[in-house]
Amino acid sequence: MNPQIQCLYHIAQKPERRIIGLMSGTSLDGLDIALCHISDSGPGTFVTLERFSTVPYDDELKADIRTIFAKTEIEFEQLCLLNPYIGRLHGQMILDCLRSWDIEPSEVDIVASHGQTVYHAPKSQHRRDKFPNATLQIGDGDHVAAVTGIITISDFRQKHVAHGGEGAPLAVYGDYFMFSKKGENRLLLNMGGIANFTYLPADEDASRVFTTDTGPGNTILDAYARKLLNKPYDEDGKLAAQGQVNKELLNALKINPFFDAPFPKTTGPEVFNMTYVEEAQIRSQTTSLPGADLMATLVQFSADTIVDAIKRVMHDGETYSIYMSGGGMHNPVLTKALQQKLPNCTFGRTDDLGISGDAKEAVLFAVLANESLAGGGTSFGDRQGVPNVTMGKVSFPK
Ligand SMILES: Nc1ncnc2c1ncn2[C@@H]1O[C@H](COP(=O)(O)OP(=O)(O)OP(=O)(O)O)[C@@H](O)[C@H]1O
Ligand SMILES: CC(=O)N[C@H]1[C@@H]2OC[C@@H](O2)[C@@H](O)[C@@H]1O[C@H](C)C(=O)O
């Protein structure tokens, strides 16, 4: 037997594993690196977040990725070159982190690498009959494994697509194991570039659990922060706080079939981008809106579409706890708008449940890798878009 397969077999049999989860999302702010200690699997999964770091992307890397990011037409050579480049870069970032934490690569069992999404095209979006749902992440796992010397599991989304899903959101598979609690209706709300939530009903019935995207989180806000402030984001919502919400533009922004589609569903910056806003401005005759009003309206757009989606799972007479994660939880204008519209919900962060909200998505991929190695027996019922699969491909270092 190839000794590397033997090594994988040994890791899969261990009662507990040390797994590094990696996530670099649609905000392109950096690589989230979460060193997790995970015991057991499935509903018995127990995660301790040992260390966490976000390694920021420099401006050159952001610009390189943006040349091919969420665009229908790109330079193919650039895509081809970035695939190994990002893989090697992520590998090096892991090594630098481990060194700063005084941990040897040999002390880590597995790297679970999401890669960089460069294009996301569910069928509802591309509308081309003969093609299936599609999504593409780059930063190939072979390069991460070669640089770190650690067995790497990557490319998690393709199996989901292969079984009829949209390749996202995958959060359901981790949130259910980590955060579900009998007797409490929980909503795990992640506000990254795109916002999504996981519904965890109080009866812990796996077949009722799902995650869905709700629409934009920060992606459009960040685009306008770059344009209006020359900054990566509107820190603490300072610009938005100075503006007034424009009702005409807000209503125009909400006109999109995505918002009425059934759960679970996915989207991305391919749809929700500056062109989307400019078109809504033309339709609502608000093209000369001051920057602060535009920003205030865009925050309200994210908040309203999150709330509208969440309200669809709520039942009268039930109570719900919302646990936030992702960079949007740091934007007080956004969180205040949510709380105003959902006065009967209690609001917290996943930090209250033991996992930092900044690290949650990176931890998710560590849990998905753990499940591929040691779990896989949980049924999520037969809901369309939540296939009963484990995900990820294995890359050996040699
Ligand atoms: N203090 C803050 N004030 C306002 N916004 C903030 C603040 N801190 C972070 N953010 C927002 O959070 C974003 C980063 O969020 P996060 O890292 O969760 O995104 P991501 O992982 O790339 O997204 P996705 O969930 O779509 O993959 C920033 O780009 C910014 O918009
Ligand atoms: C295609 C893709 O990368 N989607 C991301 C993105 O970021 C948030 C939202 O859009 C979510 O659908 C997904 O990530 C999380 C981790 C998920 O799959 O659950």
- Give residue 63's pLDDT: 97
- Give residue 95's pLDDT: 99
CA 224 from chain center: how many Å? 21
The average pLDDT across 332-343 equals 98
The average pLDDT across 21-36 equals 96
Q: Which residues of 303-342 are buried (b: 16+ CB within 10 A; e: fewer)?
A: bbbbbebbeebbeeeeebbbbbbbbbbbbebbbebbeebb
Of the pLDDT bands very low, low, confident and very high (cuts 50, 70, 90), residue 342 is: very high
> Over the stretch 274-297, which tens digit does the pLDDT of each residue have?
999 999 999 999 999 999 999 999
Of the pLDDT bands very low, low, confident and very high (cuts 50, 70, 90), residue 87 is: very high
> Over the stretch 255-265, which tens digit does the pLDDT of each residue have?
999 999 999 99
Choice from 157, 194, 219 to test ligand 2 binding pocket (greatest atom count within 8 A of CB): 194
- Give residue 278's pLDDT: 98
The average pLDDT across 26-42 equals 96
Q: Is 174 annotated as a binding residue?
A: no
Of the pLDDT bands very low, low, confident and very high (cuts 50, 70, 90), residue 307 is: very high
Choice from 178, 179, 213, 214 to test ligand 2 binding pocket (greatest atom count within 8 A of CB): 213
Q: Do the Cβ atoms of 295 and 172 come closer than 8 Å?
A: no
- Give residue 67's pLDDT: 98
- Give residue 125's pLDDT: 96
State if residue 139 touches ligand 2 by the CB under 6 angstroms criterion: no
- Give residue 116's pLDDT: 98
Beta bridge partners of 189: 197, 324
- What average pLDDT does the chain have? 97
Structure tokens at 173: 């598979």
Q: Is 189 annotated as a binding residue?
A: no
- Give residue 332's pLDDT: 98
Q: Which ligand is nearest to the CA of 331?
A: 1
Q: Tell me, in angstroms, the distance from the centre of ligand 2 to residue 148's CA.
A: 25
Q: Which residues of 208-226 are buried (b: 16+ CB within 10 A; e: fewer)?
A: ebbbbbbbbbbbbbbbbbe
> Over the stretch 200-253, which tens digit does the pLDDT of each residue have?
999 999 999 999 999 999 999 999 999 999 999 999 999 999 999 999 999 999
- Give residue 7's pLDDT: 98
Q: Where are the beta strands (DSSP E) in 250-381?
A: 320-325, 346-349
Q: Is 26 annotated as a binding residue?
A: yes
The average pLDDT across 87-97 equals 98
* CATH superfamily assigned to domain 3-170+357-395: ATPase, nucleotide binding domain (3.30.420.40)
Q: Tell me, in angstroms, the distance from the centre of ligand 1 to residue 55's CA.
A: 14
> Over the stretch 105-119, which tens digit does the pLDDT of each residue have?
999 999 999 999 999
Residue ranges around ligand 1 (CB below 6 Å): 23, 25-27, 29, 190, 192-194, 218, 221-222, 232-237, 326-328, 330-331, 361
- Give residue 16's pLDDT: 98
- Give residue 65's pLDDT: 98
Q: Are 3-170+357-395 and 179-353 in the same CATH fold?
A: yes
State if residue 136 touches ligand 2 by the CB under 6 angstroms criterion: no
- Give residue 43's pLDDT: 96
Residue ranges of domains in the chain: 3-170+357-395, 179-353
- Give residue 299's pLDDT: 98
ipTM: 0.97
- Give residue 319's pLDDT: 96
d(CA 365, CA 376): 15
Atom index in ligand 1 nearest the CA of residue 194 equals: 26
- Give residue 179's pLDDT: 98
Q: Tell me, in angstroms, the distance from the centre of ligand 2 to residue 329's CA.
A: 16
Q: Tell me, in angstroms, the distance from the centre of ligand 2 to residue 199's CA.
A: 16
Q: Tell me, in angstroms, the distance from the centre of ligand 1 to residue 16's CA.
A: 31
Using a pLDDT cut of 70, give the percent of the chain over it: 100
Structure tokens at 25: 């999302």
**Burial status of residue 259 (CB atoms within 10 A of its CB: 0-12, 13-18, 19 or more):** middle
Beta bridge partners of 324: 189, 349
- Give residue 230's pLDDT: 98
179-353 is classed CATH 1.10.10.10: no
Torsion of CA 383, 386, 387, 393, to 10 degrees: 180
Other C-beta atoms lying within 10 Å of the C-beta of residue 278: 11
Q: Which ligand is nearest to the CA of 237?
A: 1
Cα separation values, 144 from 111, 125, 147, Å: 8, 31, 5
- Give residue 311's pLDDT: 98
Name, in order, each residue with C-beta under 8 angstroms of 219's C-beta and a sequence gap of 6 or more. Answer: 26, 27, 193, 194, 269, 272, 273
Alpha helices, DSSP H only, in 101-151?
Answer: 123-126, 141-148
> Over the stretch 348-375, which tens digit does the pLDDT of each residue have?
999 999 999 999 999 999 999 999 999 9
Of the pLDDT bands very low, low, confident and very high (cuts 50, 70, 90), residue 164 is: very high
Atom 12 of ligand 1, nearest CA residue: 327
Q: Is 32 annotated as a binding residue?
A: yes
d(CA 53, CA 249): 38
